[in-house]
A and B are shown apart, each in its own frame.
Chain A
Amino acid sequence: DSGVTQTPKHLITATGQRVTLRCSPRSGDLSVYWYQQSLDQGLQFLIQYYNGEERAKGNILERFSAQQFPDLHSELNLSSLELGDSALYFCASSVLDWGGYYNEQFFGPGTRLTVL
């Protein structure tokens, strides 16, 4: 157990809908990261927040948005969903900024999103 929690574990929805994925980082971690893993793809970085502020942005679609709240939990909002958005969405956290660079990113178990 990494200490990072994600809800829900599974989500099935229809095209055009909007969903919210939630992540609670490990206690004490200030950075939160969101990744998308599609079939046969690696972990694609979406966005990072550090202590409530957006820190880094990757290949995140305009239909997707995220935020980190004062209690440090984060939400990823996906709107106008398309079939191609079906994927595993992982959240990770780290103590410091720029996690992965001499400070480990700890991953949650993921949310599996299925868009029908």
Chain B
Amino acid sequence: DQQVKQNSPSLSVQEGRISILNCDYTNSMFDYFLWYKKYPAEGPTFLISISSIKDKNEDGRFTVFLNKSAKHLSLHIVPSQPGDSAVYFCAASGRNSGNTPLVFGKGTRLSVIA
């Protein structure tokens, strides 16, 4: 039973345009959400997070939106750059969400084409 779902395995975007990566979750006890970025042959690195008390968090070119009623979050990258090409993992956490501190989706591979 996947509690965090990223339904698009891959996404291709032109350089300079907006990249939108989507994520859905099922566990209503999650109240903290994160995006991690992973390059080949490296471990995932933290990108941006959002608490459930907010609906938007922005950090430079990266913005995460949270829609609690829809149990949906998205990551916007504007403008997209070739160096953004990587696998992006959505993750969720909650103090009382279960026996796993951080639950990951399967990832979306983003390719930014120059």
Interface residues of A (CB under 8 A from B): 2, 4, 33, 35, 40-45, 48, 56-58, 90, 92, 98-102, 104-110
Contact = CB atoms under 8 A, between A and B. Distances in A.
Contacts of B100: 45, 56, 58
A98 B43 contact: no
B104 A98 contact: no
B41 A109 contact: yes
Interface of B: 4, 6, 9, 32, 34, 36, 41-46, 51, 89, 91, 93-95, 99-107
By DSSP majority rule, is chain A's interface helix, strand, loop, or mixed?
Answer: loop
Contact of B102 (A2, A4, A57, A99): A99
Contact of B105 (A42, A57, A101, A108): A42
Contacts of A4: 43
A2 B43 contact: yes
A92 B43 CA distance: 9
A104 B46 contact: yes
A17 to B, nearest CB: 25
A108 B14 CA distance: 31
Of listed B36, B41, B99, B102, residue having the most chain A CB within 10 A: B102
A88 to B, nearest CB: 9
A100 B45 contact: no
A42 B89 contact: yes
A110 B44 CA distance: 10
Contacts of A108: 43
Given A57-B99, A58-B100, A107 B43 contact: yes
A90 to B, nearest CB: 6
B89 A107 contact: no
